[in-house]
Amino acid sequence: MSRRLLTLLASALALLALWPLLQLLSQGLQGLQQGLVQLGPDGGRQIRGTLLLLLGSALGGTVIGTANGWLLINCRFPGRRWLRIAQLIPLATPAYLLSATLVDLGSRAGWRIHGLGWGIAVMALATYPYVFLLSTESFGMSGRRQLEACRSMGIGPWSAFRRVALPIAMPAIGAGVALMGMEIVNELGAVQLLGIPSLSAGILDAWQSNSDPTAAISLALVTLVIVLGLVVGERRLRRRSRRWSDGVAGGDATAWPLHGSRALAAQLLGLIPPTLSLGIPLVWALANLDQLGSSFRDDLLPLSLRSLLLGVSAALLAMAAALLLAIAKRWSSAVWLRSLTFLAGIGYAIPGTVLALALLLTGAPWQLAPLLLLLWGYSDRFLAVAKGGLDAALERISPNLDEAATGLGFNWQQVLRRVHLPLLRGPMTVGLLLVFVDTVKELPLTFALRPFDFDTLSVRVYQYASDERLAAALLPALMILTLGLVAAMALVPSLDQASSKG
């Protein structure tokens, strides 16, 4: 296979990933031209609810993630390493599962867990690790020289953080906030369980419950505008973060030692968020332990098999597509191909309900099977998860290896098989695991596109929670939580690598 054919295949694959979104935009533009745009009776409330949830959760997540990022990288106190790893635990707990267990525990205690305030708390707790991871990388990259300069001038840790480290880390923190925003706009289960009007739920209601495709498309366009702002902001801030970090890293940082009450405060700040994220579902599970037997239902095995098969299929499809796009970009110097492969991975930023609507519009004329649309949606949405690690790993492989191999008469397929694949085994394994677990946990896309009577673990947990039958959801919820913990632990090596730069 020639390199030209490789480029053509990669281009066709990228266009296939973008096609549903292009169809949605085309339908929306036609509606604008014909004056058919309407948001429905609750559209204004849903936009307002989404923006308030986004702003409140972003503020809370920024404070938690940035404070822990600084303390766990640039301060030294007992338990620091384990607390740094624990910050990944909230990524294992889906927001809808945290909301469902919190609502049930609240009802037992006579509390009403409902409304925007609780939604902000849940989403901040579930998404702050994005800010933590990126701020940790920034603080670690610029650690030693800043600390040495601050100490030489008699500046303490708080002043060093406020006057030096925080301004430099702002681009990385802003990029983490943008990633938080994408997850918040995508959320469906948590906002429904907590009674918060949102665009994600509004799109689904307009399309399925109210049979109002015009309102659904209009709400989807508004959602895309919000997401586009988050994506553009995230890319710009990441570029600024990389430029600001250049040349300031320089070996191991001499961390500020904390003792007494300061060490205790740092330990509590690092311990409370992950403890709440994992502890609330575990406390709920213990409270329902006596009903464990009743949670064994005849449909548990089919539900598990469906979820596992969908996860494996989506992981393989996404990784195969990601590998083709990454290799084509490496062997081609065309700017247009790099731009196209980047756009192909934008599906991760698109909320699941928006992507589901786009796929329904795309598949309707061809009468595509719902299961095919669901796999298409998974592959499209999680392509960036698989592709990110491959791109980063390929950038670390010297082009001299490719040139040496081609000089010996190898074509690109042989270079891929003998050079690249052995070196990419680790990133591919992590990527497969992350896509698999993300698919098992995914709710909005699955709920909207699944075939009739084809529920999964995530859908069944959400349905049981909506019907206030959480005891029946005990085992499915524990399975999702366990898989999430496995995926979160796969990120530990990258976290240790970032901290070693500090």
**Percent of the chain with pLDDT strictly greater than 90:** 37
State the pLDDT at residue 196: 95
Burial class (CB in 10 A: 0-12, 13-18, 19+), 438: buried
475 — pLDDT class (breaks 50, 70, 90): confident
Residue 6 tokens, joined: 């490789």
State the pLDDT at residue 498: 55
Radius of gyration for the chain, computed over Cα atoms and rounded to the nearest angstrom: 23
Contact 298, 448 (CB under 8 A): no
103-131: b or e for each residue (b if 16 or more CB lie within 10 Å)?
bbbeeeeeeebeebebbbbbbbbbbbbbb
State the pLDDT at residue 125: 95
State the pLDDT at residue 36: 62
State the pLDDT at residue 251: 41
pLDDT tens readout for residues 447-458: 999 988 888 999
- Looking at residue 368, the DSSP 8-state letter turns out to be -
Q: Which bin fits 156, alpha (ψ -120 to 50), beta or left (φ > 0)?
A: beta
Own/partner pairs for 464-470, CB < 8 Å, 24+ apart?
465/96, 465/99, 465/100, 465/103, 465/104, 465/189, 465/193, 466/192, 466/193, 468/104, 470/100, 470/101, 470/104, 470/284, 470/288
Burial class (CB in 10 A: 0-12, 13-18, 19+), 282: middle
pLDDT tens readout for residues 346-391: 888 899 999 999 999 999 888 899 999 999 999 999 998 888 878 8
Residue 29 makes CB contacts below 8 A (sequence gap 6+) with none
- Domain-embedded: residue 398: yes
- Domain-embedded: residue 314: yes
State the pLDDT at residue 253: 47
The Cα 478–Cα 496 span in angstroms is 27
**Percent of the chain with pLDDT strictly greater than 70:** 88
- Domain-embedded: residue 284: yes
Domain that holds residue 198: 3-21+45-500
The Cα 320–Cα 394 span in angstroms is 15
The Cα 215–Cα 209 span in angstroms is 12
The Cα 297–Cα 286 span in angstroms is 19
∠ CA(219), CA(224), CA(226), 5° rounding? 100
pLDDT, average across residues 188-201: 93
Please report the sign of the dihedral spanned by the C-alpha atoms of residue 491, residue 418, residue 343, residue 498.
positive
State the pLDDT at residue 500: 57
- Domain-embedded: residue 27: no
Burial class (CB in 10 A: 0-12, 13-18, 19+), 243: exposed
- Domain-embedded: residue 28: no
State the pLDDT at residue 295: 58
State the pLDDT at residue 165: 73
Please report the sign of the dihedral spanned by the C-alpha atoms of residue 136, residue 137, residue 138, residue 144.
positive
Judged against a pLDDT cut of 80, whether residue 290 lies above it is answered with no
114: domain CATH number?
A: 1.10.3720.10
Task: Tally the domains of the chain.
Answer: 1
- Domain-embedded: residue 39: no
User: In what helix (H) or strand (E) does residue 76 lie, and over which residues does it extend?
Assistant: strand 75-76
State the pLDDT at residue 242: 53
pLDDT, average across residues 77-82: 89
State the pLDDT at residue 188: 92
- Domain-embedded: residue 33: no
- Domain-embedded: residue 464: yes
- SS3 of 196, please? coil
